[in-house]
Amino acid sequence: MCRVIAISNQKGGVGKTTTTVNLGIGLARQGKKVLLIDADPQGSLTASLGYVEPDEIGTTLATIMMAIINEKEFEITDGILHHKENVDLLPANIELSALEVTMGNVMSRELIMKEYIEAVRTEYDYILIDCMPSLGLMTINALVAADSVLIPVQAAYLPVKGLQQLIHTIAMVKKRLNRQLVFEGILLTMVDFRTNYAKDVAGKVREAYGEKIEIFDTVIPMSVKAAETSAEGVSIFSHCLNGKVAKAYETIAKEVLGNEE
Ligand SMILES: Nc1ncnc2c1ncn2[C@@H]1O[C@H](COP(=O)(O)OP(=O)(O)OP(=O)(O)O)[C@@H](O)[C@H]1O
Ligand SMILES: [Mg+2]
């Protein structure tokens, strides 16, 4: 059985892409077959995995979604890149933003990505979708295609308002387009243990949302090591296996495996 997880928060720079890379490769290290989908025209996931010029890649998520819109055939291997840390990647680039505009006029425009995922899900144990920082049509497509949504929250400020908007959008998707959608959980990222403030934010998020949404016990520490990995095109496991960020993502991968049982 394949589980499809959308990694989403419309707030920028909260650790969505970093979490997609390291949770994905963390799951692969536990023996799972994993596909990472870049659903952000910035192509950060693609670049983080070492494909440093996303705009030069020919076949991307946009190509395949366009084929689906035009009712053209596609192969499940189309566009797939194989990363050396045992995960597959469907890349993205700037073409995705043009597609998002085009898609606005298409029938069943929220269901295009789902059609792709339904075709490839037999090949994988986990599919992670790295969403863009917006709640537009591309993110709605990801939420409709997903079984669950994982919400990274940066522990550096009080994110209550932005989270309410995200949770409302998820509730609407669940009601109208994807009854099965559940919360994978809130993941606190970039936690600076030296400050009481970070602990305070963690406490406040638990207070405000802990009853409705599972909050991962493990938090991701703030570390320059996490930021360095994307420049190298590898995960934190290749960059600094014994560091605290690698340990944290390894534990999160195990928590996600446990969520399914
Ligand atoms: N645990 C961490 N410690 C320190 N820096 C981090 C950590 N996690 C991520 N970063 C850095 O923070 C920045 C934002 O992270 P990331 O790109 O994963 O966020 P994002 O939510 O995907 O951003 P966007 O909304 O632009 O897609 C990046 O420069 C990344 O390297
Ligand atoms: Mg990102």
Q: 3-class DSSP state for residue 179?
A: coil
- Residue with the nearest Cα to atom 29 of ligand 1? 227
Q: Is residue 231 predicted with pLDDT exceeding 90?
A: no
The number of domains in the chain is: 1
**pLDDT tens sequence across 78-100:** 999 999 999 999 999 999 999 99
Q: Specify the pLDDT at position 49.
A: 98
Taking the CA of 18 as reference, the closest ligand is 1
The CATH number covering residue 87 comes to 3.40.50.300
Backbone angles phi, psi at 203, to 5 degrees: -60, -45
Interval between CA 119 and ligand 1 midpoint (Å) = 30
What does the alpha-carbon distance between residue 258 and residue 261 come to, in Å, rounded to a whole number? 5
Pocket test residue of 9, 18, 252 for ligand 1, highest count of atoms within 8 A of CB = 18
Q: Cα-Cα-Cα-Cα dihedral of 10, 12, 13, 16, to 10°?
A: 30
More confident site: 198 or 45: 45
Please, which pLDDT band fits residue 160 given cuts at 50, 70 and 90?
Answer: low
Q: Please choose, from the candidates 216, 209, 143, the residue with its C-alpha nearest in 3D space to the C-alpha of residue 184.
A: 216
Pocket test residue of 9, 14, 17 for ligand 1, highest count of atoms within 8 A of CB = 17
Whether residue 231 has its Cβ less than 6 Å from ligand 1: no
Name 151's bridge partners.
186
ipTM surpasses cut 0.95: yes
**pLDDT tens sequence across 122-140:** 999 999 999 999 999 999 9
Q: How confident is the model over 217-244, as a mean pLDDT?
A: 93
**Do the beta carbons of residue 115 and residue 76 sit within 8 Å?**
no
Domain that holds residue 39: 3-260
What does the alpha-carbon distance between residue 162 and residue 9 come to, in Å, rounded to a whole number? 8
Taking the CA of 227 as reference, the closest ligand is 1
Backbone angles phi, psi at 99, to 5 degrees: -65, -40
Whether residue 220 has its Cβ less than 6 Å from ligand 1: yes
